């Protein structure tokens, strides 16, 4: 049975599609195609395959995504971006359950199951003339709507904890605990990037960076020298630790695992203001 997954970017459509395939009885491969990422001039050959000599530059026959997914699942991500001309050909495949490679008239039967995802409502695109009505009806056997994360806030903390545990294990470090301030921040944020954004926030949290905002490493100017970049990152780590521990210097020392004198001098060199108590005995 073909499926249609609808939801904003980052709501987990890719993960769900893969999971549906894994739990199904279909033994063939899971093959994904991002309809928005492939140029229109190449999309048809990628989807249907080509035969030798079909057009200039083709030196050997090659199967397309549809043929490669026979017996398994073809996942068409962002099908709302598929050109109308290609939509008509896809509809013909769905009805005939077979394909013809570019440059050939040979009919190749396929055991096809399609899972398609869309960010924009397909019924609205149909009314705007941007999506074929017949293809929409053909795909709309079973539609699953994935709500935005802001509409299921009760799942934010469990998901964040799951991501944190997994990322911490990946980096071989203990998973940090959330304080009440960060819990409030997680629950009050609107998460326009949905689960994808939440997972990135969990990664920043595990690595000691601020929960929200641009990743400090990615925000660095590529032209900046390595020594300067390391100073910037070190300063960010110290400032964030001070902020999270409300300038409790003993707690900061314990987290960063540095001697008091070493941390104080690093803060002085980096221009980070130290709590008054931190200078005692230095």
HEC string for 200-259: HHHHHHHHCCCCCCCCHHHHCCCCCCHHHHHHHHHHHHHHHHHHHCCCCHHHHHHHHCCC
The 10s digit of each residue's pLDDT in 55-67 is 656 567 788 999 9
The domain boundary residue, chosen from 146, 176, 206: 146
**CA 84, 13, 29, 59 torsion-angle sign:** positive
Residue 176, domain extent? 150-215
Mean pLDDT (the chain) is: 85
Q: Against a cut of 0.85, is the pTM above it?
A: no
Verify that 227 and 171 share a domain, yes or no: no
Verify that 131 and 161 share a domain, yes or no: no
Verify that 139 and 18 share a domain, yes or no: yes
Kindly state the average pLDDT of the residues 145-158.
Answer: 94
* Banded pLDDT at 229 (limits 50, 70, 90): low
CATH label of the domain that carries residue 243 = 1.10.10
Verify that 29 and 109 share a domain, yes or no: yes
Q: Dihedral angle at the C-alpha atoms of 95, 29, 100, 63, nearest 10 degrees?
A: 170
Is 80 exceeded by the pLDDT of residue 159? yes
Bigger pLDDT: 52 or 262?
Answer: 262
| pLDDT at residue 54, rounded to an integer | 61
Verify that 69 and 108 share a domain, yes or no: yes
């Amino acid at each position: 049975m073909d499926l249609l997954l609808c939801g904003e970017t980052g709501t987990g459509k890719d993960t769900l599609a893969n999971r549906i395939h894994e739990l199904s009885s279909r033994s063939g491969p899971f093959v994904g195609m991002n309809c928005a990422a492939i140029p229109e001039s190449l999309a048809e050959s990628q989807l249907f395959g080509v035969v030798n000599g079909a057009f200039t530059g083709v030196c050997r026959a090659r199967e397309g995504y549809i043929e490669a997914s026979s017996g398994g699942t073809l996942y068409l991500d962002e099908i709302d971006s598929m050109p109308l001309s290609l939509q008509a050909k896809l509809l013909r495949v769905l009805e005939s359950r077979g394909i013809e490679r570019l440059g050939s008239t040979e009919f190749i039967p396929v055991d096809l199951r399609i899972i398609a995802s869309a960010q924009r409502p397909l019924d609205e695109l149909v009314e705007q003339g941007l999506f074929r009505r017949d293809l929409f009806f053909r795909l709309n056997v079973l539609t699953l709507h994935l709500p935005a994360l802001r509409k299921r806030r009760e799942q934010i903390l469990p998901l964040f904890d799951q991501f944190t545990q997994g990322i911490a294990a990946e980096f071989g470090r203990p998973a940090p605990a959330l304080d009440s301030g960060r819990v409030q921040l997680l629950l009050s944020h609107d998460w326009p990037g949905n689960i994808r954004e939440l997972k990135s926030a969990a990664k920043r949290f595990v690595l000691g960076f601020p929960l929200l905002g641009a990743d400090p490493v990615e925000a660095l100017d590529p032209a900046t020298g390595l020594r300067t970049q390391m100073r910037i990152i070190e300063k960010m780590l110290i400032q964030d630790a001070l902020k999270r521990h409300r300038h409790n210097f003993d707690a900061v020392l314990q987290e960063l695992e540095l001697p008091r004198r070493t941390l104080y001098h690093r803060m002085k060199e980096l221009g980070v203001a130290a709590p008054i108590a931190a200078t005692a005995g230095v």
